[in-house]
Structure 1
Amino acid sequence: MSEFSSTVESFWQSSFLSGDIIFSSDALSICANPDLGADRQLMLLETAAGKLQMALTPALADKLGLYLQTGLTPALLRQKLQDAGIALHGADYVFYFNEPARQDLLQEPQPGHIRQLSEADEAVFAEFQGNASEQDLDDAYVELDHWAVFGAFEQDRLVCAASMYPWDEQQIADQGVLTLPSFRGQGHARSVVRAISRHAYAQGYEPQFRCQLDNTASAALAQSAGLSLYGTWDVMASGSDE
């Protein structure tokens, strides 16, 4: 039985187990899924347990010669992708709350310096963005017009913010978080992530936290906020199949 919710498991299974399972072993499964979108013609999910799952369009499966294959391993599959000139975008860690962590989160009172933001906070949010680097803004993708936005304040100054939006039209809310440099390491991001995640649950959504594999600070934040690693997720880079 999975430690994660049925919402999480159903979301990933809809891509990686829907269609024609053309290869399956303890270490690897490959699904030819005709319903994949143009921007996700090939996806890889390596679970925290270590199993690699691939979903790809039937056309790509045929191009790669994956039908009726035997003896495939994750290493051999990745070599096939490389030989075919198919590049990957770059994997993300994907984190969720497991059930015990979710219960702890929902029972926790919200700190007084954390609150939800609205259009009325446009000025303080603009000041917050003005004190952040362009790189940090691009990486975090925190916007005031997202589905939900929460912030941490120090003396009426917004020092950390997180925003969420529904992901892939599912009951999953993907989030980004940004703390101003001089206020990092003080627990603001952890508190904001937990606050916005409680809000997501209250609205019937499963909070999701993603970050690139080389973003060690974000990965550490996810774990400190009580989230557990579900796996790593990657997609084919745009134009690599041409």
Structure 2
Amino acid sequence: MKSQERSMPLFSQMITDFWRAQFLNGDVLYSDEAFTVAINPDLEEDSRVMVLETIDGRVMAVLTPAMADKVGLNQHEDLSEEIFRWKLNEAGVAMHGADYLFYFSEADKNVLLQEYLEGDLRRLTKQDDAVFSEFESSASEQDLDDAFVELDHWAVFGSFEQNRLVCAASMYPWEGNSQIADLGVLTLTPFRGKGHARKVVLSICKYAYDQGYEPQYRCQFDNYASTSLAKAAGLTLFGKWNVISPDSID
């Protein structure tokens, strides 16, 4: 991301505090203006190595003590992002593949909260089970897996066309007790490109703010349709987040 280095937009304090806590809770092994590495024994198994690249060009990494030993990090050496990634590679540590993280900047949040959304949009409940089941049966297994939209999530919104549910988004509180709500969205293939997804994303994000949550839009960096939707909804790229691959062997 060095070639795209720029200043960081003003995001909420909740977002910046959340990510600082993920990467700076523990012993800081190395830090300079561009790169920081910390050791944290309390990381979960599936996040025992994490890397975050924010759009202002900074990179933060955190590892468990066991993974730091495996990679060959020690307290007395100078590090850089390049050296760190080389050490991961030499130790056979594979990363899962980066997710883009999008949030509303403070300015765009205010725009969102004042926006009036037209269309057949509403919150879905358990009483919509039959409607949602029909929606799921019309989507491919791959789309369902990628979107992870579920009727029993914390919040679910849908867009209808001729009384048929054609697009749905759901949210759930992310990473334990955080006030960040992770969202997924899915539009049935014949109804894409008609603005349904943008309106559903905006609707569910407005709801999240009303409930005291910060909406988070997360997608694989090579999912161009999803990144385009995030931008169309007014979300701003915060950074790229990566964790160790489930297939990486200790």
Shorter-chain TM-score bucket reads: over 0.9
Report what 1:181 is aligned to.
189
Distance 1:239 1:139 in 2: 19
Unmatched tracts of structure 2, length 5 or more: 1-7
Question: Contact between 2:101 and 2:237, CA under 8 Å: does it hold in 1?
Answer: yes
Report what 1:81 is aligned to.
88
- Change in Cα spacing, 1:67 to 1:2, as seen in structure 2 (3 Å) is farther
Question: Contact between 2:98 and 2:243, CA under 8 Å: does it hold in 1?
Answer: yes
* SS of structure 2 residue aligned to 1:9: helix
- How far residue 78 of structure 1 moved from its aligned partner, in angstroms, is 0.9
Report what 2:239 is aligned to.
231
Deviations 1:55-86 (A, max 9, x none): 11122223222223534221221111010010
Report what 2:121 is aligned to.
114
* Two-structure CA RMSD over aligned residues (Å): 1.3
Deviations 1:158-205 (A, max 9, x none): 110000000012100000000011111111101000000001111111
Moved over 3 A (4+): none
Distance 1:102 1:145 in 2: 26
AA partner of residue 17 (structure 2) = S
TM-score by length of 1: 0.96
Unmatched tracts of structure 1, length 5 or more: none
Question: Contact between 1:15 and 1:33, CA under 8 Å: does it hold in 2?
Answer: no
- How far residue 2 of structure 1 moved from its aligned partner, in angstroms, is 5.9
- How far residue 33 of structure 1 moved from its aligned partner, in angstroms, is 1.4
* SS of structure 2 residue aligned to 1:110: coil
Distance 1:181 1:60 in 2: 43
Which runs of structure 2 are paired with 1:157-176 in the superposition (5 Å)?
Answer: 157-169=164-176, 170-176=178-184
Report what 2:4 is aligned to.
none
Report what 1:47 is aligned to.
54
After TM superposition, the structure 1 stretch with the greater mean CA deviation from structure 2, 2-11 or 209-218, is 2-11
Structure 1 vs Structure 2: percent identity of aligned residues? Answer: 56
* SS of structure 1 residue aligned to 2:77: coil
Distance 1:69 1:157 in 2: 62
Report what 2:203 is aligned to.
195
1:28 aligns with 2:35: yes
Distance 2:76 2:248 in 1: 23
* SS of structure 2 residue aligned to 1:208: strand
Which runs of structure 2 are paired with 1:90-105 in the superposition (5 Å)?
Answer: 90-105=97-112
Distance 1:226 1:96 in 2: 9
Question: Contact between 2:30 and 2:78, CA under 8 Å: does it hold in 1?
Answer: no
Question: Contact between 1:20 and 1:33, CA under 8 Å: does it hold in 2?
Answer: yes
TM-score by length of 2: 0.93
AA partner of residue 24 (structure 2) = L
* SS of structure 2 residue aligned to 1:230: strand
Report what 1:134 is aligned to.
141
Report what 1:211 is aligned to.
219
